[in-house]
Structure 1
Amino acid sequence: MTTLTSADLLTLSPVIPVVVLDDADRAVPLAQALLAGGIPVIEITLRTPAALAAIAAVAERVPDMVVGAGTVTSPAHVDKAVAAGARFLVSPGTTDALLDAMAGSGVPYLPGIATVSEALRVLERGQQEMKLFPAEACGGRTFLQSLASPLPDARFCPTGGITPDTAPLYRALPNVGCVGGTWLTPAKLVAAADWAQITQLAVDARREA
């Protein structure tokens, strides 16, 4: 299995699907549907009791999918996610303890930031790739444009409130590698097991990138 870096996470796909799963049995067909549409990465958020089992299922049964854990908010989350098979970690924010745990996890990670000071803290740790969250609520594209000059080494995956219409506008910014979004895996389609429509959404996301 190829070793990934945090920089690689920003180039795997124009959009990282951000997924909330209540049923771990949906994880494998969902991952297969995204792969069929050309999206080779999925972020399964640790917001439900099914999340770790879902990550483990994808890691074991869909090896071509790069599965990661999102909403990582504690060192305990880091340990459990990596043990389940997560190949990357994404946090909504940063603390020193969380940064230490993610840095020591052995897998790439995107720590969440929402301010210039938080971005500087992450850069001081030698980490150039990070997540902007909640992107739209904390300034969106205007904020990212403002960071490009004073923080030229910082690279972002903005997530939060981004739509299919605004995603290409974000990706056009020089300090954005990819965006995160929930629109590729709507809860209604997942609940209905409408994998064909999810594949089409993935195809559309790649085409519009």
Structure 2
Amino acid sequence: MSPSPHPATPSLPAFRSRVVPVIVIEQVDQAVPLAQALLDGGIDVMEITLRSAAGLAAIEAVARAVPAMQVGAGTVTRPAELMQVRDAGARFALSPGLTERLADAACAAGLPFIPGVMTPGEVMRARELGFRLLKLFPAEQAGGLPMLKALAGPLGDMRFCPTGGVTPESLGAYLKLPNVALVGGSWLTPPARLAAGDWDGIRQLARAATEAAEAART
């Protein structure tokens, strides 16, 4: 049986950065200074995951206090979470995978949604459901750079945000691929720096990633 067609979810909000920090926040009061440090480093988008109990409240805090930051919700795995993160102020959502119920919920929420894939078959399934930008996750385990190059031939109309195992050293190589729109990574917000409130250190990491992304663009 062929999959039910789904209308495309809205396009992502416009942001400058092609690097998306993937963040687990344990304390809500970390969220706003973290968002400001990333902005100061040239990154105007962030993915706050739902892997911790503080995730939803952290999204709401950033959406309210730092409107220049395009805050997204990550690790969205249940349909009900799409409405929850939208109501908290998330501008978009990401998932490690995709089900038809998630696709339905994303459309019902009217929220830009980047589902996760790992294989060519999953990419084709996502395309049939109306998605054109996908999260290759976990990127390195899925084949990394060689996998994305291989997908570009038969599935050249699809774009990807590889996440999982991307490093500062591999960032530029990923962003040079024509089918890579964005790159996600957790190295920008190390847990130790978050716990210590080392916003200057995070600002420096963000600035380095911004410079690397600009170098890849040229």
TM-score, normalised via structure 2 length: 0.91
Q: What corresponds to 1:17 in structure 2? A: 21
Structure 1 residue 53 corresponds to structure 2 residue 25: no
Residue 100 of structure 1 deviates from its aligned partner by 1.2
Counterparts of residues 21-40 of structure 1 (less than 5 Å): 21-40=25-44
Structure 1 residue 91 corresponds to structure 2 residue 87: no
C-alpha root-mean-square deviation of aligned residues, in Å? Answer: 1.2
Match of 1:194 among 194, 198, 201: 198
Give the residue type in structure 2 aligned to 1:29: P
1:159-196 per-position Cα deviation (integer Å, ceiling 9, x unaligned): 00110001111111110011000011111111000101
Structure 1 residue 5 corresponds to structure 2 residue 11: yes
Q: What corresponds to 2:74 in structure 1? A: 70
Structure 1 residue 175 corresponds to structure 2 residue 179: yes
Q: What corresponds to 1:121 in structure 2? A: 125
Give the residue type in structure 2 aligned to 1:163: T
Which structure 1 residue ranges, 4+ long, deviate > 4 Å from structure 2? none
Match of 1:42 among 28, 46, 57: 46
C-alpha distance in 1 between matches for 2:98 and 2:19: 22
C-alpha distance in 1 between matches for 2:107 and 2:147: 26
Q: What corresponds to 2:149 in structure 1? A: 145
Residue 208 of structure 1 deviates from its aligned partner by 1.0
Identity level (%)? 54
| Structure 2 spans left out of the alignment, 5+ residues | 1-9, 214-218
C-alpha distance in 2 between matches for 1:17 and 1:32: 13
TM-score, normalised via structure 1 length: 0.94
Residue 122 of structure 1 deviates from its aligned partner by 1.1
Residue 24 of structure 1 deviates from its aligned partner by 0.6
Q: What corresponds to 2:108 in structure 1? A: 104
Give the residue type in structure 2 aligned to 1:171: L
**Contact residue 71 and residue 90 of structure 1 kept, 8 A:** yes
- Total equivalences in the alignment: 204
| Structure 1 spans left out of the alignment, 5+ residues | none
